Amino acid sequence: MRIISGKLKGKLIKFLKNEKTRPLKDSVKENIFNILKHSNLVNIKIEEANILDLYSGVGSFGLECISRGARKVTFVDQDKDATNILKENVKTLSVISKTSIITDKIENFLINEKEKKFNLFFLDPPFLDDQFIQNLDLISKNKIYENKHIVVIHREKKSRDNLGKYIRTVITKKYGRSKIIFGFFIK
């Protein structure tokens, strides 16, 4: 796994080899960033963004954001093995000052987070997990999003998640087994 663009382009990222984690494929990641940068429906500049990477694993999405100039990335994952590797990645890439790494359940973090506001939310829950929908509710209730924001969700392409109560979907793309949903919180 590697960083695909920006100031860290080509740098390798360590990742976990187990059944619990599913690395975001480089081709899917590149397509997400193409949409973020070039779509008229998305009005967020990575270079100015404060990013919340939920279910972050080893941090490939958030680290890619940092490489592309993101202001700060907060990574949250409950898997200690994954966040330990993420900490190694952050140290190896010399980007500690641009990160905050939380090893806890997503809902615990969201219940307690009321201070920070984020522009870009990336959720990459396990494909069988539907708890992420309650996490969208917590984000919405706590209003931890800036007026100008985007939500990006990585799901299995056959998933039939009911997101309409929380986000207004503006783009849905399918790549192989993956479905990427772009939307905004309903205010």
**Residue 18 pLDDT:** 62
Q: Which residue has the tokens 């069988």?
A: 128
Tens digits of pLDDT across the chain (187 residues): 889 999 999 999 998 876 555 677 888 899 999 999 988 888 888 998 999 999 999 999 999 999 999 999 999 999 999 999 999 999 999 999 999 999 999 999 999 988 899 999 999 998 788 889 999 999 999 999 999 999 999 998 888 888 989 999 999 999 988 999 999 999 7
Which distant-in-sequence residues (6+ apart) come within 8 Å of 128 by Cβ? none
Type of residue found at 182: F
How far apart, in whole angstroms, are the C-alpha atoms of residue 182 and residue 150? 7
**Residue 22 pLDDT:** 63
Whether 13 contacts 73, CB under 8 Å? no
Burial of 155 (0-12, 13-18, 19+ CB in 10 A): buried
Structure tokens at 137: 């509710």
**Residue 51 pLDDT:** 97
How far apart, in whole angstroms, are the C-alpha atoms of residue 89 and residue 38? 28
Whether 76 contacts 52, CB under 8 Å? yes
Q: What is the pTM of this model?
A: 0.93
**Residue 88 pLDDT:** 96
Q: What is the CB neighbour count within 10 angstroms for residue 110?
A: 23
Give the chain's domains with CATH numbers.
Answer: 26-185 (3.40.50.150)
Burial of 107 (0-12, 13-18, 19+ CB in 10 A): middle
